[in-house]
A and B are shown apart, each in its own frame.
Chain A
Amino acid sequence: MAQILASPKSDPAAGPTVTPAATGSPNAPALIRENGQREVFCGLTSIVWLHRRMPDAFFLVVGSRTCAHLVQSAAGVMIFAEPRFGTAILGERDLAGLADANAELDRLVGHLLERRPEIRTLFLVGSCPSEVIKLDLAKAAERLQTQLAGRVRVLSYSGSGIETTFTQGEDNALLALVPLLPAAPVARDAGSTAAPPDQLLIVGTLADGVEDRFRSLFTRLGIPRIDSLPPRRASELPPVGPGTRVLLAQPFLSATARALVSRGAQLIPAPYPLGVEGSRAWMAAAAAAFGVAPAHVQAVLEPLVERGQRALAPHREVLAGKRLFLMPDSQLEIPLARFLARECGMELLEVGTPYLDRSLMAEELALLPPGVQLSEGQHVEHQLDRLRAARPDLVLCGLGLANPLEAEGIATKWSIELVFSPIHGIDQAGDLAELFARPLRRRALLSFG
């Protein structure tokens, strides 16, 4: 591995540092920490899927024309009769302090709500410019909330590039919802820590169909109450309290998980529900937390596992032995790498992630093949040097790099699709593998001779 790490033009100041990701184990993954140009989205991009998950919410970015341009470049190919996001663009008067930014914001929100009286939840979304000039959106949200009490709920979170990378925008949006979650009714045995949990809270955006499927499976397992965060309507928030067990469906929810724990909920440690193995372990962990007998779990899930493996088989034929390089993007990279290595037989060259939360990723790291090369952060030119030297069979990367790499003859799977596709659960394992097999099949299929 060392030879591909030594990039030809490596600058000692910005050069990679290699450390073991977890101490104590000889097979622990090696970690490259890098600093340089990062080819990633900012957290504002999360609006592109959150606006569909909660159609009764509106996302108002407070930022610059750049922010407006980003969101519309990402989502503007869809034609909206009623846009569900917009930008309050800061002007020179706002920066010079000539206009009272708070009064301006109140005026804009008034104008917006006049046009769109059906909005029930308004997210004020912070950006790089609003953070740099220290515009206090939390306070603005509080003030507007008081003015609009009873009509519209106003929340704030930051989706700025300086603080958040891509999916971390969802983490911050959910974090903003946590204080609004009603307190769960106190369990009968409130005083006792041995009180049985009474509610399973699945956290992280899931496709509707996947969510329904998980609900029905957890019900079959005998879990009494199942809720989701985010809900399908921003106004229908699930309760939380000491009887709540939190199961993270997405790996990028560090801040939300901590906030839920501080509201008394307990986190169920599990790998993430990608692939047959990960999804089974994820559901089994929840069942165990609710005291469901392992034999019952086995009885409910075994047919699914068997069918899931059958669905995987044809894709495994395409993927097995292929060498995979993952560029950092969404924090889904480690669970995806685990699934593709263990269940599809792919060889991992480098697993990049924008941010590594060791505690939330512990179960996943333990399942990775020994000694796998991890990288956190990015120096995109150095990483591309390593990539080209390794000549992978498939690269997971963002859309800024995908076509350029294809033109160099390197097959790619664009990573953003993974947050826009139903990929979670045992029943989706085949579809998830197909997303990676498809570009390879397509390359084999096309011929222009």
Chain B
Amino acid sequence: MELTLWTYEGPPHVGALRVAASMEGVHLVLHAPQGDTYADLLFTMIERRGRRPPVTYTTFQARDLGGDTAELVKRSIAEAAARFQPEALLVGESCTAELIQDQPGALAQGMGLGDLPVVSLELPAYSKKENWGAAETFYQLVRNLLKDQLPPPGQAKPEPTRWRQEGRRPRVNLLGPTLLGFRCRDDVRELSRLLAEHGIDVSVVAPLGARPADLLRLPSADLNVCLYPELAGPVCGWLERSFGMATVRTVPIGIGATAAFLRELHGLLGLELPAELEPGAGGVSEAERRSRLPWYSRSVDSTYLTGKRVFIFGDASHAIAAARVASQELGFQVVGLGSYSRELAREVRAAAAELGLEALITDDYLAVEAAMAAAAPELVLGTQMERHSAKRLGIPCAVISTPLHVQDVPARQAPQMGWEGANELFDAWVHPLMMGLEEHLIGMFRHDFEFVEGHRSHLGGAPPAEAPPAAIAVEAPSAPAPAVPAAAAASGSLEAALAWTPDGEAQLARIPFFVRGKVRRNTERYAREHGLSAISEEVLFDAKAHFSA
């Protein structure tokens, strides 16, 4: 058993639902108890879709458990097939149905549904989660539909450069975008435009908007672009192994990543790289011509962003991309990086190591909150869940990854990928921070009746309450554990060993609120390292000089 206040991912059948609802002509029959239809709201409310997701639930109740639930499954499959006339049928179970083991997939296979392709989904609800379920569903569907097209073993791999011999423009598949993914709708549009400008056609976008017939065309593209590795990783790997199709794996979020993505793509396709995409090319690069982020970030108004401490958590692809943008393109200092995507933990660890950090790989919301408190950041880039912890700790926060809520499916164009995506990142991440002038004035004059500590007047509303620092320290298990007297250790509080003198406290209060947590921690560390038990104003300045040296 595992205590969960917030869960980063839904159960795996929600992943299956995302794939079915993203596509056209696919229907999912889900063996599930009454009430599991709540998942429809994810699509009708959060994604604001104007039609019901293509899902038939068996919605069994307690009284059905005494009877023949397998018969209920067969009736639901027959009704769904007759009513919706799908081009492919997915059959799966939710967590409760998994316990009663009716084998709905096998039942469907035995029902004689004619030519209708039936894909039986195994979604272990007690060990796997939403993204895994989506990736597995997409993989099983593609594999099932393409099994007749498999080339004989030993056949030569198709060259990604064959478009040249065939006298046509190169064409690629964009794999991975789904409903309830983070800004997939606009990422697809932005990337399609970007590719078109480089003379590259998009063959199939899937799952989002694809029909089963489109999936049959996947092998006719020159290569696959794996836009969302959490979702399309297994499919791209399988297409690579079975059809010899190459995969572009760079996720084009941020200026540097978009340029790297274009270079990888041009290289694989044997397409001549425009001079301005050459690394180290002088003059104005394509990035600078097409995106405002580089200039905005270089302009003097952004100088105060230098070294802002940022904590990053999300799915692996978005977290890795955010870390690169934050550290290289906005000049922040990344003080924490983590992900709930265990499937891509290795990649996150590598990205963290480059920043001199140890990656936090967990799906425990409380562990993330504790790490956030311990890192004392000035900005949190996370998911909808990190907004809760950031509110508790009084830290500005922007959302960069799923899980999301309705406000992150905006009406406006808001991609994360490509040149326009970088513009969106700049605005979204800088907005929650206190603006430069206000930051200076609040640092100088503490006695204002309106612009009080922690107030960010450009956000409207009342100033946030600062979290009690003692509570943060107690909750942070990763805080350094110094040798303290047994009595203090037993009391569970590190504060007990160190006392702040009144003048020390007063000086601490003069530190701008968004860096105060860090200063408090550094000063206490300094005091411990120097065997001091009381922290005065002078100790604080000593520590400040020590750590800035």
Contacts and interface: CB of A to CB of B under 8 A. Distances in A.
B392 interface: yes
B96 A400 contact: no
Contacts of A401: 44, 52
Contact of A89 (B2, B51, B366, B384): B2
B109 to A, nearest CB: 22
A40 B40 CA distance: 10
B44 A88 contact: no
Nearest to A72: B6
B278 interface: no
A163 B59 CA distance: 11
A39 interface: yes
Which 10 residue pairs are nearest across A and B when measured between Cβ atoms? A161-B35, A42-B35, A407-B50, A400-B40, A64-B95, A104-B1, A128-B96, A69-B10, A81-B392, A162-B62
Interface of A: 9, 11, 13-14, 36-45, 62, 64-66, 68-70, 72-74, 76-77, 79-83, 85-92, 94-95, 99, 101, 104-105, 107-108, 111-112, 115, 128-129, 131-133, 160-163, 165, 381, 399-404, 406-407
Contacts of B56: 37
B38 to A, nearest CB: 5
Nearest to B42: A73
A406 B41 CA distance: 14
A65 B124 CA distance: 11
Nearest to A379: B79
Contacts of A77: 405-407
A36 B51 CA distance: 20
Interface string B399-436: 00001011100000000000000000000000000000
B22 to A, nearest CB: 16
Contacts of B40: 39, 400
B339 interface: no
Nearest to A108: B3
A89 B7 CA distance: 10
24 contacts: A13-B75, A36-B59, A37-B76, A39-B37, A66-B14, A66-B36, A66-B94, A68-B6, A69-B10, A70-B35, A70-B38, A83-B5, A86-B3, A87-B7, A92-B126, A99-B1, A115-B475, A132-B96, A160-B62, A162-B64, A399-B45, A400-B52, A404-B44, A404-B51
B48 interface: yes
Given A14-B79, A66-B11, A90-B126, 10 more contacts: A14-B75, A101-B1, A108-B1, A128-B35, A129-B99, A132-B96, A132-B100, A381-B83, A401-B52, A404-B49
Nearest to B57: A37
A184 to B, nearest CB: 35
A162 B96 CA distance: 10
Interface string B49-84: 111100011111110110000000001100100110
Nearest to B393: A81
B387 interface: yes
Given A38-B59, A66-B95, A83-B6, A162 B33 contact: yes
B303 interface: no
Interface of B: 1-7, 9-11, 13-14, 33-38, 40-42, 44-46, 48-52, 56-62, 64-65, 75-76, 79, 82-83, 94-96, 99-100, 124-127, 129, 366, 384, 387-388, 391-392, 403, 405-407, 475
A77 B403 CA distance: 11
A84 to B, nearest CB: 9
A66 B10 contact: yes
A403 B45 contact: yes
A224 to B, nearest CB: 42
A423 to B, nearest CB: 22
A83 B6 CA distance: 9
B325 to A, nearest CB: 25
Contacts of B37: 37-40, 400
A41 B38 CA distance: 6
A95 B126 contact: yes
B99 A161 contact: no
A88 B4 CA distance: 6
B333 to A, nearest CB: 26
A447 to B, nearest CB: 18
Contacts of B407: 77
Contacts of B65: 132, 162
A38 B79 CA distance: 14
Nearest to B65: A162
A66 B388 contact: no
B452 to A, nearest CB: 19
B388 A131 contact: no
A407 B48 CA distance: 11
A44 B366 CA distance: 23
A111 B51 CA distance: 43
A329 to B, nearest CB: 12
A90 B99 CA distance: 12
A77 B366 CA distance: 19
A91 B1 contact: yes
A39 B56 CA distance: 10
A448 B129 CA distance: 42
A95 B82 CA distance: 36
B34 A65 contact: no
Given A37-B59, A162-B60, A381 B79 contact: yes
Query: Which has the most chain A C-beta neighbours within 10 Å: B36, B41, B45?
Result: B41
Contacts of A94: 1
A80 B116 CA distance: 47
Contact of B1 (A70, A90, A402): A90
Nearest to A96: B126
Contact of B41 (A86, A381, A399): A399
Contact of B49 (A62, A76, A403): A403
B44 A402 contact: yes
Contacts of A66: 10-11, 13-14, 36, 94-96, 125
B44 A40 contact: no
A64 B5 contact: no
Nearest to A65: B11
Contacts of A74: 38
A112 B126 contact: no
Contacts of B388: 79-81, 83
A14 B80 CA distance: 14
Contacts of A381: 79, 83
B79 A88 contact: no
Contact of B4 (A43, A68, A104): A68
